[in-house]
């Protein structure tokens, strides 16, 4: 087995190439020496089985960004047999230097000129053989998007590996920092082997940009586009999600309940309401993640994501974030889980952590269900929509307060200098592949955590054996009682506290929990809620439910995406504190006003 | 002799040649990798609202950067009209 790493600048189609070569067999995993997960897969090159590793995009092998460090640490810690440098054929003027930097590492190296289709459209002609001779490295040209030239590239890789000896020692690699010589070499290579027309004609991409990046129209168009995508994700995703839930329910009713009937109540309960419900919770996220990443990959691959960063930068920079964080925040209003996973498009870790801290505060569709139910039960129909609107405003305020409070701690080190790639039509195959790989990632990383959480909450609400479920005699009832000194000043009584414990699993479960706790359903439950709390207590409870903690699936995602237990703890503790302060201020403020 | 101006002061449509790049090392490396080096021609394509970032064209690459970063890049403007 030979290990080969792919390196290249962002926007060179490196990941497209990786996906093209490896298909759905890729998996992300941990590597020695680096703190991010890297995708790898096995592919056959001639007679060699190759483990191909996709390294993060970098501009400079000696640069200071997180990704650039990752590439260096990887190359130091994990021996590779060969490197493949992917260059954008239409931007060789500034990318050839990277090939020379990589060459200086002294490892067998293949140079791939990608995006030959775009280069041809620009009228750029490249003398491959001459360039290969000048560089002293084998060169192959291809279009990873269209798949042309792929076979030739793999053949070149195979013959490179035929001649490759064992990887050379690390000592060689630090004989670098010869930027001036490299620059001169680049100049002469370009002059001899690459022909670029002196002035590029206005392209279709430029014409589209004139509208999309228009000083006044740009932002409204962006908001409309995001709104359309948001609607599309949840119009497509929600019925699928309901379908999965219905399927799990049907299996439970038609098969499992009869099958497990002979078991004692407790064992049947833990299997049905603990284990089976836990599996269902995980499964219900699958369609949403697929649909979300389908659209996100399309937005990212088309080039709109970098343009969103350009458009919203002047607003978001004040919060220590950028336009990519804005896109994820917005998506968080549908469901926090895929939005948290989507922050991976941000390459700078501090900014990524800051946006992961703010996303769970967006009022997701699960919380909306709870608020619609409570608002309808407590408020007159004319007032209820304004209560919901107020909760959305509260959600935005919580995001802004959090970003302002933590932007110093998670200060971005990365300069805002990004490429605006030309508009490109995303390919269906790659977009679909992305959705599938993300689901695999979510299932592998989050399943156990969510599952254990669901079972634990079930146990809390059903132990000791024989107590009425979620009643005052259970562990949960006892916790609700013990928390009264803390939650009482917010107008949250013992029964509501138990409902919050359920809401930890998934926010929409709060309504189901009311049904169990009060022993009532539907209108009867709504009536009992209206009798047992006034509007101040109900609003205080809703504010607390909005902010108090990310749901179990969101926490599982926070943990796997941040790879830090400390950060996950902060992402739970901060909203809890914020929720308490906000609800306390509201409840006591209203009471002080005599309401 | 044409005038020297920081990139952050250019108007949309202005052409010029990079005369100097003043930046701390990490920013400098990023700028170099994206094509900002002395002697290269560039064009300011557009500015975002509210003193937002600039879109700059260098050869076949379009780059977005903030005013603070652009202030360190000195540009020798081409005479108006000479595209």
Tell me whether residues A218 and B47 touch, CB distance under 8 A. Answer: no
Q: Is residue B28 part of a domain?
A: yes
Query: Which residue of B46, B51, B59 is in closest CB contact with A196?
Result: B59
Average pLDDT over residues B33-58: 88
Closest CA to A419 of B78, B31, B67, B29: B31
Tell me whether residues A63 and B33 touch, CB distance under 8 A. Answer: yes
Q: How far is B8 from chain A (nearest CA, A)?
A: 13
Tell me whether residues A183 and B37 touch, CB distance under 8 A. Answer: yes
Contact list in B for residue A98 (CB cut-off 8 A) is 33
On whether any CB of chain A is under 8 Å from the CB of B79, the answer is: no
Question: Block means of pLDDT (10 residues each) for chain A, length 595 residues?
Answer: 90 86 76 75 89 88 78 83 92 88 88 91 89 91 89 90 60 47 73 68 81 88 85 82 87 86 83 80 79 82 85 86 83 84 83 94 85 86 87 93 93 81 84 81 75 80 79 86 92 88 82 76 82 92 93 90 93 96 95 87
Q: Domain span at residue B40?
A: 4-77
Which CATH number describes the domain made up of A2-195?
3.40.50.300
Query: Which residue of A63, A98, A310 is in closest CB contact with B30?
Result: A63
Say what the ipTM of the complex is: 0.89
DSSP A214-254: -TTTHHHHHHHHHHHHHHHHHHHHHHHHHHHHHHHHHHIII
On whether any CB of chain A is under 8 Å from the CB of B13, the answer is: no
Tell me whether residues A219 and B27 touch, CB distance under 8 A. Answer: no
CB A61 within 8 A of CB A68: yes
Extended beta strands in A46-175, E state = 48-54, 82-88, 109-114, 125-126, 139-141
Query: Which residue of B29, B33, B47 is in closest CB contact with A94?
Result: B33
CATH number of the domain bearing residue B60 = 2.30.30.90
Location of structure tokens 């992402």: A571
Closest CA to A140 of A89, A205, A211, A78: A89
Q: Is residue B83 part of a domain?
A: no
How many Å apart are CA A78 and CA A273, to the nearest integer?
45
Contact list in A for residue B50 (CB cut-off 8 A) is 314-315
pLDDT for position A180: 54
CB A550 within 8 A of CB A336: yes
Backbone angles phi, psi at B63, to 5 degrees: -125, 140
Q: Is residue B49 part of a domain?
A: yes
In chain B, how many domains are there? 1
Closest CA to A59 of B29, B66, B57: B29
On whether any CB of chain B is under 8 Å from the CB of A98, the answer is: yes
Length reported for chain B: 83
**Helix A535-547 vs helix A365-378: crossing angle, to nearest 10:** 180
How many Å apart are CA B37 and CA A94, to the nearest integer?
10
Q: Coil, strand or helix: which one is B47? A: strand
Query: Which residue of B25, B26, B52 is in closest CB contact with A313?
Result: B52
pLDDT for position A169: 47
DSSP A398-441: HHHHHHHHHTTTT---S-SEEE-PPP-PPPHHHHHHHHHHHHHH
On whether any CB of chain A is under 8 Å from the CB of B82, the answer is: no
Q: Is residue B40 part of a domain?
A: yes
Contact list in A for residue B48 (CB cut-off 8 A) is 213, 215, 218, 310-311, 313-314
Chain B residue closest in CA terms to A89: B60
Tell me whether residues B26 and A183 touch, CB distance under 8 A. Answer: no
Strand partners of residue B77: B16
Tally the C-alpha atoms within 13 A of residue A130's C-alpha that lie toward its C-beta.
Answer: 11
Query: Global pTM?
Result: 0.74
Backbone conformation region of residue A320, classed left if phi is above 0, alpha if psi is from -120 to 50, else beta: left
How many Å apart are CA A206 and CA B37, to the nearest integer?
24
Contact list in A for residue B31 (CB cut-off 8 A) is 417
Closest CA to A421 of A321, A279, A302: A302
Return the exposure string of B40-79: e unless at least 16 CB atoms fall within 10 Å of the residue's CB, then b.
ebbbbbbbbeeebbbbbbbbbbbbbbbbebbebbbbbbee
Tell me whether residues A315 and B25 touch, CB distance under 8 A. Answer: no
Torsion A214-A220-A223-A229 (CA) sign: negative
């Amino acid at each position: 087995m030979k290990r080969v790493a792919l390196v290249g600048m962002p926007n060179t189609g490196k990941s497209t190439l990786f996906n093209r070569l490896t298909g759905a067999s890729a998996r992300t995993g941990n590597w020695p020496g680096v703190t991010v997960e890297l995708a790898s897969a096995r592919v056959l090159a001639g007679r060699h089985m190759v483990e191909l590793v996709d390294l993060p995009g970098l501009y400079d092998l000696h640069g200071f960004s997180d990704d650039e460090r990752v590439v260096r640490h990887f190359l130091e810690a994990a021996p590779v047999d060969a490197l493949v440098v992917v260059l954008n054929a239409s931007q060789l003027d500034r990318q050839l230097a990277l090939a020379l930097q990589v060459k200086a590492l002294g490892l067998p190296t293949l140079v791939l000129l990608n995006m030959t289709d775009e280069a041809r459209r620009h009228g750029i002609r490249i003398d491959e053989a001459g360039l290969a001779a000048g560089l002293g490295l084998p060169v192959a040209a291809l279009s990873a998007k269209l798949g042309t030239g792929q076979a030739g590239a793999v053949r070149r890789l195979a013959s490179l590996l035929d001649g490759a000896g064992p990887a050379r020692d690390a000592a060689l690699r630090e004989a670098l920092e010869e930027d001036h010589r490299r620059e001169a070499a680049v100049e002469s290579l370009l002059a001899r082997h690459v022909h670029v027309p002196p002035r590029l004609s206005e392209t279709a991409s430029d014409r589209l940009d004139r509208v999309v990046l228009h000083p006044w129209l740009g932002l409204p168009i962006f908001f409309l586009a995001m709104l359309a995508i948001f609607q599309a994700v949840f119009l497509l995703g929600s019925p699928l999600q309901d379908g999965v839930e219905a399927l799990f329910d049907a299996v439970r009713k038609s098969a499992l309940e009869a099958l497990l009937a002979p078991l004692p109540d407790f064992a049947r309960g833990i299997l049905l309401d603990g284990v089976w419900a836990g599996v269902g919770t995980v499964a219900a996220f699958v369609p949403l993640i697929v649909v979300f990443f389908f659209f996100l990959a399309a937005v990212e691959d088309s080039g709109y994501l970098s343009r969103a960063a350009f458009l919203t930068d002047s607003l978001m920079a004040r919060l220590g974030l950028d336009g990519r964080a804005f896109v994820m925040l917005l998506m968080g209003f549908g469901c926090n889980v895929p939005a948290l996973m989507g922050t991976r498009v941000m390459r700078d870790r501090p900014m990524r952590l800051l946006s992961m801290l703010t996303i769970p505060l967006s009022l997701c569709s699960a919380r909306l269900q709870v608020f619609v139910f409570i608002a309808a039960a407590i408020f007159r129909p004319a007032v209820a929509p304004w209560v919901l609107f107020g909760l959305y405003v509260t959600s935005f305020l919580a995001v802004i307060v959090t970003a302002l409070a933590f932007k110093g701690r998670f200060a971005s080190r990365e300069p805002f200098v990004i490429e605006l790639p030309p508009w490109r039509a995303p390919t269906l195959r790659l977009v679909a592949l992305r959705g599938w790989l993300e689901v695999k990632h979510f299932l592998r990383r989050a399943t156990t955590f969510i599952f254990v959480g669901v079972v634990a909450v079930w146990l809390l609400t059903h132990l000791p054996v024989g107590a009425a479920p979620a009643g005052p005699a259970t562990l949960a009832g006892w916790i609700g009682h013990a928390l009264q000194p803390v939650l009482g000043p917010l107008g949250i009584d013992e029964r509501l506290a138990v409902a919050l414990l359920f809401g930890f699993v998934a926010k929409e479960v709060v309504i189901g929990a009311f049904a169990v706790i009060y022993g009532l359903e539907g209108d009867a439950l709504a009536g009992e809620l209206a009798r047992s709390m006034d509007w101040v207590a109900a609003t205080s409870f809703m504010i607390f439910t909005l902010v108090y903690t990310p749901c179990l699936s969101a926490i599982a995602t926070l943990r796997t995406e941040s790879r830090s237990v400390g950060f996950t703890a902060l992402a739970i503790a901060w909203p809890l504190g914020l929720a308490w302060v906000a609800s306390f201020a509201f409840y006591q403020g209203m009471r002080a006003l005599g309401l | 002799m044409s005038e020297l101006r920081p990139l952050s002061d250019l108007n949309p449509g202005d052409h010029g040649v990079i005369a100097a790049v003043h930046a701390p090392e990490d920013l400098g490396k990023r700028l170099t990798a994206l094509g900002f080096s002395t002697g290269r021609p560039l064009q300011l394509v557009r500015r975002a609202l509210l003193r937002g970032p600039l879109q700059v064209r260098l050869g076949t690459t379009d780059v977005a950067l903030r005013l603070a970063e652009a202030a360190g890049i000195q540009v020798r403007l081409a005479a108006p009209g000479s595209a």
